[in-house]
Structures are given as structure tokens and as C-alpha cells.
Homo-oligomer: A and B are copies of this chain.
Amino acid sequence: MPQVQSTFRALADPTRRDILVMLRDCDLTIAEVAENFDMTRAAVKKHLTVLSDGGLITTRTSGRERINALNPQGIDPVMDWLKYFDIFWDDRLATLKTEIEKDRK
């Protein structure tokens, strides 16, 4: 059960946010993720570990490959925390939900 801190920390790096966007479309092995970045596979692996610690991704092994997938519930701790600002961004929240539904059409 990841702490809220580990989730916020995982989201704080642009490379890791890019990885999450990639995983939104399809699951990827470490090597496949690394192809999209100008850094070594080992560095990408570290980012994936941080994302896993933050509960934002899950991993499963298939033979010698490790497949990374987005964890739908991973964002929950962040959302729970943001709730503290309800009196300020409640209206915005409603607007966002409308935009999401519009995008899906």
C-alpha cells in the first residue's frame, strides 16, 4: 500500500509522467519504454521502480520479459489529498469532468 508521499514523488519527474502517458495506450516491457528516451535502459528501470513504489504501475513477468502496466487506482492517494482544497476547486472539478466526457465523444 503506497504512501501518498511516494505517489507524489513519482509524479514529480517529467520522464516518469511521460512513461505513464505511454502506458496509458498499451503495456510495455522495460526495453520498449527505454526506446522512447535518450537514456540507458538502467535509468529507465529506476524510474519504473519509483513508479511501482508509488503504486502508479504494476508489473508482471512473462518469460524473460517484465511487462509494465498502468495501475488505474494508483492516482487515488493524490486525488484524496487534493480533496482538502475542495472549497477552492470544486467548480473546476465539475468543469473538468465535463471536458473529459466531451473528449471521449
Contacts and interface: CB of A to CB of B under 8 A. Distances in A.
Interface of A: 5, 8-9, 11-12, 14, 17, 20-21, 24, 70, 72-73, 75-76, 78-79, 81-90, 92-94, 96-97, 99-101, 103-104
Residue among A73, A85, A97 with max Cβ neighbours from chain B (10 Å): A85
Contacts of A82: 75, 78
21 contacts: A9-B12, A11-B11, A12-B12, A24-B87, A24-B88, A72-B88, A72-B89, A75-B85, A75-B92, A76-B89, A76-B92, A83-B100, A83-B103, A86-B100, A87-B104, A90-B97, A90-B100, A90-B101, A93-B93, A94-B97, A97-B97
Contacts of A88: 24, 70, 72, 75
